[in-house]
A and B are shown apart, each in its own frame.
Chain A
Amino acid sequence: MSRTDEVLVGHVLKGDESAFNELIGRWEKGLYNFIYRLVGHEEEARDLVQETIIRIYKRIGQLREPGAFPSWIFRIAHNVSRDRLRTRKNKVIVSTDDLMEKGAEHLLDDRIDRFQADVPPDQAAYRKELGDILGKALQTLSEEQRTAVVMREYHGYSSREIAEMLDIPVGTVRSRIFHGLRNLGRVLKRLRVEEGE
């Protein structure tokens, strides 16, 4: 039977490095996808995951509730990503010329049209291209809206949990999700996807 996060954290605090590796092995996929969706760049996401893990290692002694390990590490991942995004000043990971010429709402029109017109070689290629389009769409949001939407949609945190993790009011979380989803709806309005396709 696999050990719970809480048990593993207890072992880590006693100096068990293999327990730390096991913990990270369990969460590295979630951390990578979370950070990648926030920063929109694969190589950068890899570096930031590493930075996050180093911070987790150094600060795990400060974790007051071992049971809160998941939300604690995602809070660290968010802080690491946010710091990097602020260094970039929220630059959108799309061509600046395109952004200025077309406006964010129509930024992905051509790419979506090509995606829907082309026949993908296989399901994996289809899903990959769809993921790339959605990733670009997310990058048209502000950092605050993107964070709230990603935490809600891809990591299943409730509005209340997100509010606690980000230390903001619940109403603010919901407002950011609302505007984020509405803006995404505009950018993706030409996209027709069969659910579960």
Chain B
Amino acid sequence: MKCNQREELLVASLYGELSGEEEEMVRKHLASCAACREEFETLQSTTGILRQWDDVESPVQYRMAESIAETERRSSRSSRKPGLLRRLRHSSAPAYIVAAAALLLVVFNIDLSVEDGRLSVGFGDQMPDVSQELSNAEIDPQSLGGVPLGMPVGNEVARFVSRDDFVQSQGELIRFVATLIRESEDRQIENLGAIMHEYLQGVELQRETDLGMLGAKVDEVERSTQSVLQSLVGSNAATSDSINEEGEK
């Protein structure tokens, strides 16, 4: 049984994945080879220990179908936003109205529509029925380009938006966007910190390796120096002895 075969055969035997003939071959080898037998016994005892680790209950119940489906529906609806944003960009409406309206649409998943002079505003999934007149409106739907945007039947206006409300919403939106930017920056800093930590770990590991090699080299030089010194001392002693012997003669 060769080395690379040995590993695979031992594992296959451990899990009963061998044919009768192969199993017999492994069994005979284990009977005659202490090293492989010891290896096999280690594999067996390790699997025995591992099997003491019980499964735990999932800490969360993932009943997610509805929320995933909802997320999918929202993301397919938001894919229509760029078209509307382009229209707003090219409208003749005052710039602050266009900018605030664009933010509303993108951030709050709001749909706008104009029908028979009525402005309809829907928030998220709730698309209430149209019910507000805009003759008193402070926002002229025609200022949005007068383009009928189309709406599913049966929607209502969720809230009538006045200029003051609009300005207030603008402030809230700006604060909300600032929060998003801040959180994104925090995440980037965290990621950068993780990358730096990893880099420093790599440097430290390399340093340890280099120091280890240097230490081994120093030991080697020390040993060979000692060996040379010993041989020198030995030969000096031999020379001294022979000189003494000559002197005695």
Bound complex: CA of A21 vs CA of B65, how far in Å?
A: 6
Query: Given the known A-B contacts A171-B8, A174-B8, are A195 and B52 also in contact in the complex, defined by CB atoms under 8 Å?
Result: yes
Number of interface residues of B (CB under 8 A): 41
B11 at the interface (CB under 8 A from A): yes
B19 at the interface (CB under 8 A from A): no
Shortest Cβ distance from A154 into chain B, in angstroms? Answer: 7
Q: Which of A18, A29, A160, A188 contacts B57 (CB 8 A)?
A: A29
A89 at the interface (CB under 8 A from B): yes
B39 at the interface (CB under 8 A from A): yes
Bitwise interface map of A from 12 to 46 toward B, beta carbon under 8 Å scored 1, else 0:
00000110110011001111110010000010001
Say yes or no: A182 contacts B58, CB within 8 Å. Answer: no
Bound complex: CA of A50 vs CA of B15, how far in Å?
A: 32
Smallest Cβ-Cβ distance to A87: which chain B residue: B194
* Chain B residues positioned under 8 Å from A32 (CB to CB): 56, 58-60
Q: Which of A33, A42, A100, A184 contacts B55 (CB 8 A)?
A: A33
Smallest Cβ-Cβ distance to A131: which chain B residue: B53
* Chain A residues positioned under 8 Å from B56 (CB to CB): 29, 32-33, 36, 131
Question: Which of B27-35, B43-51, B83-91, B103-111 contacts the other chain?
Answer: B43-51
List 9 extra interface pairs beyond A58-B72, A91-B198, A175-B4, CB under 8 A: A33-B55, A57-B64, A57-B68, A127-B54, A131-B56, A181-B42, A181-B43, A181-B47, A185-B42
Chain A residues within 8 Å of B, Cβ to Cβ: 17-18, 20-21, 24-25, 28-33, 36, 42, 46, 49-50, 53-54, 57-58, 89, 91, 96, 100, 127, 130-131, 134-135, 149, 152-154, 158-160, 171, 174-175, 177-179, 181-182, 184-185, 188, 191, 193, 195-197
